[in-house]
Structure 1
């Protein structure tokens, strides 16, 4: 998998008089078809970093490269799309398809190409049958998928989800996770900013931020076993609880799917 996004030495301070930056000397890479979770406590710099990536803020130092080229201010929003935790704040159109087409209309895209992109984006997120529906009539998970479709229609290189799961019920969260994995399997690069360790556990790798700096970049399996300071995802909490009760459980990190398979096999 090739590197899609490369960040080198990125730094930013809201208050230029302060010695410590809100984001300090941050460097990392995102690869094609990879789902990366960005975690950290409130004030760690996660949202500031996201705003730098999409061009809402300009860095004091450092570079953002997309497919090997240094990103320009006017190009960042085209190459990197962002979906926030409340999708209703991003809705413009009176129907689902109108809303997904809104960004394309602003680009004066020819109708035939715009129609093809809208159809493809809605199909990718499983919302094609709702194209003529009023967005306000959708469930929380459906609204979030429409917001994602609006970004996908613009064909960004990277999609950022900023706490996109936080307002969803368990069923909608599961459906959205399936959608995200489907998109990465198709080659989309996704960065999800989250406080939810169960969401982070689904990602291919996890970036841990603290006080504006990147502390670790690991796979979920390595991170949640090695770092005792982090809250564990549900499956790991269950494994540790069973182990503390002298149950014979595998001595390794397990995903939810692996845990379910192990329980079924044990019974």
Structure 2
């Protein structure tokens, strides 16, 4: 595999949150196969230990190159402790993937705890993780990158889970601001990127299913696409899946933006008066 991003080279250090399963684990394995030292951060438990063993089996240096560190990303102090532990073990960080996410479901006037938990993990985990790790990543002057996992639900904001949508919309806005800041910081060798997965079969999306739906990508396909996008220098890593191609995503995003421009009701794609027009617009390929 040829990887052009200079941060993804043998001997560099990658930190991934939400690394015990799904996209995070697939990324940890890919980074290990590229020769990076890998830190897996997730909630404590057997899944994290097993994930670290699987990644160590792929790493050139085995267990010497891989460490699992129990971390609750909703807690700033635990992210600060994570950085201290990584710097003590490896000296510096070249890749930060703020990937941890939860989706317990929410409604506008539903339980407050769902809102608090989703925003604490999905949004503040990304913000705190970036603010904790980025200053030293900038200061060491090596090539480095920050990948924040967003969602298409943070762009088109479909009805059904408003807390999740708000958290991922916040990740998009924060990562755009981050990249602008990095790009305009003199001497900065850090780039940031917004990973926008399609339908990926993970524990978060399984919803009781034990087999991958035909429409879904695997986490490994998503990470392969991410690495290819990083080679191109893409900021927006907009992933397709087996059911939705890029053009469909583009038309959905454009329709949502036009709600503002044309002063339609918000989420008009799901509004009875506009649903047929939205379907026709999204299906167009000219």
Normalised by the shorter chain, which TM-score bucket? Answer: 0.3 to 0.5
TM-score normalised per structure 2: 0.34
- Structure having the higher strand fraction is 1
TM-score normalised per structure 1: 0.36
- Structure having the higher helix fraction is 2
Larger relative contact order (CA 8 Å, sep ≥ 6): 1
